[in-house]
Structure 1
Amino acid sequence: MSTILIIIIAANVLFSYKGFNDILFFRKYDFHIGSIRNGEQVRMFSSAFLHADMGHLFFNMLTLYFFAPVVVAHLGEISFALIYISSLLFGNLLTLYLHKNDLNYRAIGASGAVTGILYSAILLQPDMMLGIFFIIPMPAYLFGIIYLLYSIYGMRAKNDNIGHTAHFGGAIGGYLFTIIKQPEMLTDNTFMVVILAIPILILFVMARMGKL
């Protein structure tokens, strides 16, 4: 396991554990629109290291553990770290933009950053197969498309407590940074680059039309 991955997982575990046992700490560093708009920009970063419970933390770290090695193998540890951070920030920036008028909106979790790593890994190795629920085989690129389309549905429905907007923003960050690092995939793997961009384009069209 790469050193950077160990550091990121350890930071998530330690920060989340502190939040589990200290509600004041949790509220001080979660993603809260009102506080961020009042100047507490640290929440844009710190909220991604807090989790609601052990299950939330475990799922995010398990997903990161599975897909991070693909990104590290293709791009190296430094680029992996940069994709993680940029996806984290893209996720929270998109959330801030789309929810800027909801001053009570709160969110936590590494899902945006982890989704960015997931999308990057799919771009880098689109032929890999995933085991949905560890049983059902599915091509990685198909999973990525379905996942983001479901995120759009969740953003519109607003019928759960999942941060679908952060997931989507993280995917955009991972997508863009990966192409910047390996621009040759625009010509070598054009079909996959275009296919994976479709949910992103749908999101922007719907946003422009006021459908979100």
Structure 2
Amino acid sequence: MRQSPIQSFKPISFRSIHLQAPAIASTTINSRLTSSRSLTNHLLSRRTFASTSRGLLRSTYFPKGNGGYSNYGGSGGRGGGNWFSRLRGRIDRIPTMTLVYGLIGINGGVFLLWQYALSSAQRFRDPTLFKFLQQNFILNEVNVFSGRVWTLVTSAFSHMSGTHIFVNCLGLYFLAPAAAGLMGSSAFLGLYLGAGVFSSLTSLTYHRLKKDRWWGSEGASGAIYACLSFYGAMFPQSTVLMFFVVPMPVWVAISGIFAWDFYGALFRPNSGTDSAGHLGGIVYGLGAALAMRRGGFIRMLRGGRRW
């Protein structure tokens, strides 16, 4: 996420993290997936997110319901359950990469709207579309308390700067498949949207405390950080390439990012980066991983079996 005064938006640079695709460490597989030597050897012989390994991972952490649909704490099934379970089943039919490409496409479409709005305002003196996007795709206290609560979500699809959307979509392309491959399409979509809302609320709270009513935030980085922290909580010893160059365990990368954004929120409030929103995304991803590993929020609250 980035932040700017509503009166003048400025593009900023943004960090990107590339997720390698190494084989899962044998200790992680032995402790998390199975004690069977033959199954372990089979998993180690394939890519981490190949179709077979992905299915084994997902079925271990996220068991399927009747009829082949995902059943993450609900009563999914073919034709059964409530409307939400049926909707979730339909979303789970969508291949995970198709969903990731769809999210990238929506972000790209909103970016093109911003460019057209800026062009119309500058060339034709028609600010109508620009004002509409300001009111409906920028997160700030004025918009939310004016009743436009949907900006908690729409701001996670909004980018004005070409550099901003390029780096964020690059992050989506490399990081989102890791989380989506583990969770399935419906749970991943819930992670993206939920992280967008939670990071928005974190940003709103931060700016309200600082009395910055007119500072606006936009961008998908809160959701992207949630994908990274979710995967990192599931496989903390996996390796990522920081800045596409420096290899390190994912838990080290997440800790470093969290520390940097925490420092930025305290001592660099006018840097142009919404550090509070980043922190909210990281926390949401870690919380989602904790809940999923324990069988879902409801099961966790009821004291169900823990991994």
Could you say which TM-score interval applies, normalised by the shorter chain? 0.7 to 0.9
Aligned-pair distance for 1:170? Answer: 1.0
Instruction: Name the one with the larger helix percent.
Output: 1
The Cα offsets for residues 13-59 of structure 1, whole Å up to 9 and x where unpaired, read as 10121112213343122112112122211211111111131111011
Aligned match of 1:8 in 93, 96, 103?
A: 103
The runs of 5 or more residues in structure 1 that have no matched partner are: 189-212
Aligned-pair distance for 1:123? Answer: 1.3
Partner of 1:135: 245
**Amino acid of the structure 2 residue aligned with 1:130:** V
* Percentage of matched positions with identical amino acids: 24
Aligned match of 1:173 in 284, 302, 305?
A: 284
**Amino acid of the structure 2 residue aligned with 1:180:** A
Residues 88 and 112 of structure 1 are in contact (CA less than 8 Å); yes or no, is this contact kept in structure 2? yes
Residues 155 and 218 of structure 2 are in contact (CA less than 8 Å); yes or no, is this contact kept in structure 1? yes
Partner of 1:26: 133
Aligned match of 1:17 in 101, 106, 112?
A: 112
Residues 293 and 306 of structure 2 are in contact (CA less than 8 Å); yes or no, is this contact kept in structure 1? no
Residues 74 and 124 of structure 1 are in contact (CA less than 8 Å); yes or no, is this contact kept in structure 2? no
Partner of 1:147: 257
SS in 1 for 2:202: helix
TM-score by length of 1: 0.82
CA distance in 1, matches of 2:165, 2:131: 19
CA distance in 2, matches of 1:89, 1:39: 15
Partner of 2:156: 48
TM-score by length of 2: 0.58
Aligned-pair distance for 1:167? Answer: 0.7
Partner of 2:224: 114
**Amino acid of the structure 2 residue aligned with 1:60:** N
2:187 is the counterpart of 1:59: no
Partner of 1:78: 186
The Cα offsets for residues 142-167 of structure 1, whole Å up to 9 and x where unpaired, read as 00001011110010111400011111
Partner of 2:213: 103
Residues 70 and 125 of structure 1 are in contact (CA less than 8 Å); yes or no, is this contact kept in structure 2? no
Task: Report 1 or 2 for greater relative contact order, CA contacts < 8 Å, sequence distance ≥ 6.
Answer: 2
SS in 2 for 1:31: coil
SS in 2 for 1:130: strand
The runs of 5 or more residues in structure 2 that have no matched partner are: 1-95, 118-129, 296-304
Residues 71 and 124 of structure 1 are in contact (CA less than 8 Å); yes or no, is this contact kept in structure 2? no
The Cα offsets for residues 188-209 of structure 1, whole Å up to 9 and x where unpaired, read as 5xxxxxxxxxxxxxxxxxxxxx
SS in 1 for 2:291: helix
RMSD: 1.8
Residues 20 and 26 of structure 1 are in contact (CA less than 8 Å); yes or no, is this contact kept in structure 2? no
**Amino acid of the structure 1 residue aligned with 2:133:** F
Aligned-pair distance for 1:187? Answer: 6.2
Q: Which runs of 4+ in 1 moved over 2 A?
A: 23-26
**Amino acid of the structure 1 residue aligned with 2:116:** N
